[in-house]
Amino acid sequence: MSAEPILDISGLTTVFRIGDREIAAVRDLSLSVATGETVALVGESGSGKSVTSLSIMGLLPRGIGRIAAGTLRLRRKSGETVELQNIGGEALRRVRGNDIGMVFQEPLTSLNPVYTIGEQIAEPIRIHLGKSHREALSDAIERLEDVGIPDPSRRAGQYPHELSGGMRQRATIAMALACNPTLLIADEPTTALDVTIQAQILDLLGRLQKERGMGMLFVTHNLGVVAEIADRVVVMYAGSVVEIGSVARVFSRPRHPYTQGLMRSVPRLGTATLLKEAGTPLPTIAGSVPSLMNLPQGCPFAPRCPHRLEACEQAYPPLADAGEDQFSRCIRWQEI
């Protein structure tokens, strides 16, 4: 792992209160994001990928979700390090939108319908950087230009409903970058977009990340998007990290049966015709994702795993070092 990380999460466990029980939505997660690095957090529904990003941003639903254990260290623009799990209120607000930029899935819900695009981008600039209204607005127009919005000064005066889906997502990216954050958290930023627009936004995020040398944590369910944008990947399943490593290594030589199954079940252009003509079904992972309320003892993937042993059902496997910065939470990683 390179240099000093911007974000360093160690042993994060986030729990949700359901009735009189507390359910772990994220279990003992450790990851780091370095300057200029893009780390993808990938998983299916209920894997805990979004809960992880909400934990970092301090946006867990109050009274329901809480960080039960772990440390989340963030290096701020000033060089000072804060532990996000310990701060709240005003201190957290000074970090969020300033040191951490955030982009979400649905641009229409992250933009306020009654303010112009320009005002919304200018707001964090005024608050965090202390600029005047006029200066902030001209900065906002510059940011709109950075994200490839044509005719930015006119667009700055428009309301969210006047923009297309792709333009709105560009505007939320401009807002996230308003204060030159060191870390950008993008939670499924292209999931609601059409594929030709997704290609534009991925290209834009990749370019901005390089130009600004930001760290980026990219949350997605799409393995194709991971291969497109990320340097390293963290694969999650039912609240646990099951595999972690460089995208090149994990995707070409996955060391966890879940990653292997996932890679095989992604429909690939060109190969489906061959399978169809051979009369072969598409590869799948049997069964479905277990409920967090009712996780199996031992390895959470064991009930669906083709390589399951008795030992898998008895103890929760540790994250094993598979060499070259690749780790797998599987006791059989060497054989599979």
Residue 294 touching another protein (CB under 8 A): no
User: Are residues 117 and 163 in contact, defined by beta-carbon separation less than 8 angstroms?
Assistant: yes
Residues 299-328 binding another protein (CB under 8 A) are: none
User: Are residues 317 and 330 in contact, defined by beta-carbon separation less than 8 angstroms?
Assistant: yes
Residue from 283, 306, 318, 323 that binds another protein (CB under 8 A)? 283
SS3 198: helix
- The two structure tokens encoding residue 135: 């200066």
Residue 69 touching another protein (CB under 8 A): no
Site string for another protein, 120-159 (x = CB under 8 A): ----------------------------------------
Residue 293 touching another protein (CB under 8 A): no
Calpha distance 327→208 (Å, rounded): 29
Residue 36 touching another protein (CB under 8 A): no
Residue 196 touching another protein (CB under 8 A): yes
Residues 228-267 binding another protein (CB under 8 A) are: 228, 247-248, 251-252, 261-263, 265-267
- Considering Cα of 115, then 121, then 122, then 124, what sign does the dihedral take? positive
Strands (DSSP E) contained in the chain are 5-18, 21-34, 38-42, 65-75, 81-83, 100-103, 183-187, 215-220, 232-237, 240-246, 320-321, 327-328
- Determine the size of the site formed for another protein (CB under 8 A): 48
Please state the closest distance from residue 51 (CB atom) to another protein, in A.
16
Residues forming a β-bridge with 18? 21
Calpha distance 176→109 (Å, rounded): 14
Residue 270 touching another protein (CB under 8 A): yes
Residue from 95, 223, 235, 241 that binds another protein (CB under 8 A)? 223
Interface residues with another protein (CB under 8 A) are 44-45, 164-167, 194-200, 202-203, 221-228, 247-248, 251-252, 261-263, 265-270, 272-273, 275-277, 281-285, 288-289
